[in-house]
Structure 1
Amino acid sequence: MEAPRFIDQGGALQALCARLQKAPWIALDTEFLREKTYYPRLCLVQVATEEEVACIDPLALKDLAPLTALLQDPAILKVLHAGAQDLEIFFHRDGRVPTPVFDTQVAAALLGHGDQIGYGRLIQAVLGVELEKGHSRTDWSRRPLEPEQLRYAADDVRYLAQAYPRMREALEAKGRLAWLEEDFRRLEDAGSYRPDPETIWQRVKGLNTLRRPRQMAVVQDLARWREQEAMRCDRPRRWLLQDEVILDLARRQPQDLQTLAKVRGLAEATVQRHGETLLGLIRGAMARPQEDCPTPPSRGGRPDAQQEALVDVAMGLLRHQALANDISPAAIATRRDLEALVAGDPRSPLLRGWRARLAGDALHAWLRGETRLEVASGALTVTPRH
């Protein structure tokens, strides 16, 4: 197997990008570290076409402008696998998301490979190649990189460049290529990658265990401060306050440093450095008028017995539609998605895009009473209700 080009000089990068500029598409992947930072640290960029494979060293190159221009070229499709994190990295570096994109993990679902298939399993299924797994825990920031490490990294695009044409051809044969446009537009949306300290509190794990508006206000203010501080000092948010600590502070609402220091999981260094700030945030949230506090989230309780029965039947109809379209039911919807649809949630993913085409429209029609389910020769059939 030919070794990948290792690009760590400006001239070599310019020459590579000039060649790739002529390609209609490129396979793209990154290696990065994020354990000790808020923003991911880009350590390697891998690119490939059907003709060549290269690993670009962003730690050695002072100017990545040729690569940035290539990734922003609207005439060149960027092919990734589970590419959201890769796109986030380039958004933070360049202020823009590479476009247009094609994500083989998303596309694989429409080819019957199941939901969120891993890269190794996909390459095994499409190409019959079993990939090496020995360098999955590599510290990609350390130099020099060994030849084995570079080959491992290059394989993430080498085989992607071989799988993409086959997958695209299969999608075109099934008439499903255009179905992916909405999914890919969401991946290209810069808003998906822009941190929002004002809404980050909604992602605190365990939020639904709180029931009082002022508890929610404490979570809101602490989570906002944590996000802003983590961004400012480029450190993981969990190093400042873990989610469970935020919830405990919301419940206990300490009013002095001595009480604050007793909160389990709150580091002594955090109390010393930020204790007064945290107390001020808690006091401010507690003084907020209740009508200005966030509304506690709905516990979303379990569906009642009648809804459960409808969801059970809907699951059967989902499997019927999936079988008819040679696709995994899990790739279309989860049971929770079906519960939301039965409950009348207009945000259900089954009401949009290809999921609506494959199953959502049929499910919605049945729930509206426009069709009925029958059994004929031992098989489920869907017929219009006259």
Structure 2
Amino acid sequence: MQTPLYIDNQTALETLCEELKSASCIALDTEFLREKTYSARLCLIQVATEQTIACIDPFKLGNLDPFMEILFDRHIIKILHSARQDLEIFYHLSHKVPGPIFDTQIAATLLGLPDQCGYATLVKQLLTIELDKTQTRTDWNQRPLDTAQLNYAADDVRYLIQLYPLILQQLHTSGRQDWLNEDFIHLEDPDIYQLPLDTLWKKVSGHGRLKGKQLAIVKQLAGWREKHARTQDLPRKWVLADDVIIALARMAPEHPQQLEKIRGLNNSRSKNRGEEILAEIRAAHDMPKEQWPLIPTKKTSQDEDVIIDLLMSVLKFLAEKNGISPAILGTRKDVEKLLTHDAQPTLMQGWRKHIAGNQLEEILSGQQILKIQNRKLQLESITSNQK
């Protein structure tokens, strides 16, 4: 097994990056912690080419500038598994998203593997290698890192660089090599790594049971919490837990004494901000009704429910035809959004559009019909002369 380079000084980093500049692709992974902070704390960067494996220690380096140049070099493909959290870290470091990206977890879906297929499962499936799991609970914040820890971290890119050509070959064989382009381009969108303050209320667990002015309070408090969490680099729940926000929205307290009755507001961090919390609740009360958040309550008609049932059968048929789990391809909610012309239905995005979305749209528009022949479902295109 190749021993990874341990990059703990600026000269070693610059030497490594000079080598990486000539690579067409690199495997990339990170180790990070975020249990006690708002932003993930980058603890280690693992990178590999066909010739080199390295663990870069950001704690030991003055800056990561040479490596950041590699990340943003459009001539070098960055291969990651379940890329979003890693990309989020680099986005917050530089306010840019690395690219271009190839995410092996997304690609695995088109190989017939389970949704959100884990790295260990993919390595075992394609390389018949069992990964070592002895360092799963490592605290990557601690130093020094021993040989076992570095080898464990390096495995995350050691086999990733080997998986890439195998996945590409299978995608090419099935004619699906271009189906993932839209998904990978989407991963480079900065908007997915920084949610707007006015939409954060949708992330508060339990908000769906509230309505009207209660939702306005949730919206105000979620925005207030986010500002404090970002400024002080604290987890959101340490500032104000979701269940406390829901309780505040239900009770709508007006005086400090009423706050004392809410369980979860008795810790020193929340207690000292009682007046700020009350100010946000007052702001919600003053919010014009037309600005209150709304939860869509549109229900499908009986006829639409029948159409959705039919499309779900087609979805299952298309999934099985393409060797993909129906649950991965789409849910009943996804089909409902397609039928009701949702702004961005999942079935009309990325690889799902190629496998199912386009055909379901053609059924809805009358360009395809369903037939049963020899007790098997078939889809048949309708020509203009047949209409």
- Structure 1 length normalisation: TM-score? 0.94
1:329 aligned residue? 326
| Shift of residue 156, structure 1, vs aligned partner | 0.5
Listed one character per residue, the Cα deviations across residues 239-280 of structure 1 (whole Å, up to 9, x for unaligned) are: 011112111111111111111111122233134310011111
Alpha carbons 1:261, 1:268 under 8 Å: kept: no
Alpha carbons 1:37, 1:236 under 8 Å: kept: yes
Say yes or no: does 1:363 pair with 2:383: no
Q: After superposition, where does 1:63-78 map in structure 2 within 5 Å?
A: 63-78=63-78
1:201 aligned residue? 201
Distance, in Å, in 2 between the alignment partners of 1:325 and 1:95 is 38
Q: Matched residues, percent identical? A: 45
1:233 aligned residue? 232
Deviates more, 1:78-87 or 1:138-147: 138-147
Say yes or no: does 1:139 pair with 2:139: yes
SS at match of 1:320: helix
SS at match of 2:359: helix
Listed one character per residue, the Cα deviations across residues 302-360 of structure 1 (whole Å, up to 9, x for unaligned) are: x5554443333222211221232233323321232122223332421212333122111
Q: Which of 276, 279, 294 is residue 292 of structure 2 equivalent to?
A: 294
CA 70–285 in structure 1, closer or farther in 2 if over 3 Å, else same: same
Distance, in Å, in 1 between the alignment partners of 2:270 and 2:280 is 13
Say yes or no: does 1:349 pair with 2:368: no
Distance, in Å, in 2 between the alignment partners of 1:300 and 1:44 is 47
Alpha carbons 1:201, 1:223 under 8 Å: kept: yes
SS at match of 1:98: coil
Distance, in Å, in 2 between the alignment partners of 1:185 and 1:201 is 27
Distance, in Å, in 2 between the alignment partners of 1:353 and 1:98 is 20
CA 384–271 in structure 1, closer or farther in 2 if over 3 Å, else same: closer
Aligned residues: 383
Distance, in Å, in 2 between the alignment partners of 1:348 and 1:195 is 19
Q: After superposition, where does 1:169-184 map in structure 2 within 5 Å?
A: 169-184=169-184
Q: After superposition, where does 1:264-283 map in structure 2 within 5 Å?
A: 264-283=263-282
Deviates more, 1:107-116 or 1:42-51: 107-116
1:33 aligned residue? 33
Alpha carbons 1:322, 1:329 under 8 Å: kept: yes
SS at match of 1:168: helix
**4+ aligned runs moved over 6 Å, structure 1:** none
Q: After superposition, where does 1:1-386 map in structure 2 within 5 Å?
A: 1-212=1-212, 214-291=213-290, 293-299=291-297, 303=300, 305-385=302-382, 386=386
CA 271–237 in structure 1, closer or farther in 2 if over 3 Å, else same: closer
Alpha carbons 2:368, 2:380 under 8 Å: kept: yes
- Structure 2 length normalisation: TM-score? 0.94
Deviates more, 1:64-73 or 1:79-88: 64-73
Distance, in Å, in 2 between the alignment partners of 1:79 and 1:12 is 23
Distance, in Å, in 2 between the alignment partners of 1:267 and 1:159 is 49
RMSD of aligned alpha carbons: 1.7
SS at match of 1:59: helix
SS at match of 1:165: helix
CA 48–188 in structure 1, closer or farther in 2 if over 3 Å, else same: same
Alpha carbons 1:208, 1:298 under 8 Å: kept: no
| Shift of residue 300, structure 1, vs aligned partner | 5.5
| Shift of residue 288, structure 1, vs aligned partner | 2.4
CA 95–384 in structure 1, closer or farther in 2 if over 3 Å, else same: closer
Please tell me the residue identity of whatever aligns with 1:179.
Answer: W
CA 118–24 in structure 1, closer or farther in 2 if over 3 Å, else same: same
Alpha carbons 1:208, 1:296 under 8 Å: kept: no
SS at match of 2:355: helix
Distance, in Å, in 1 between the alignment partners of 2:297 and 2:43 is 42
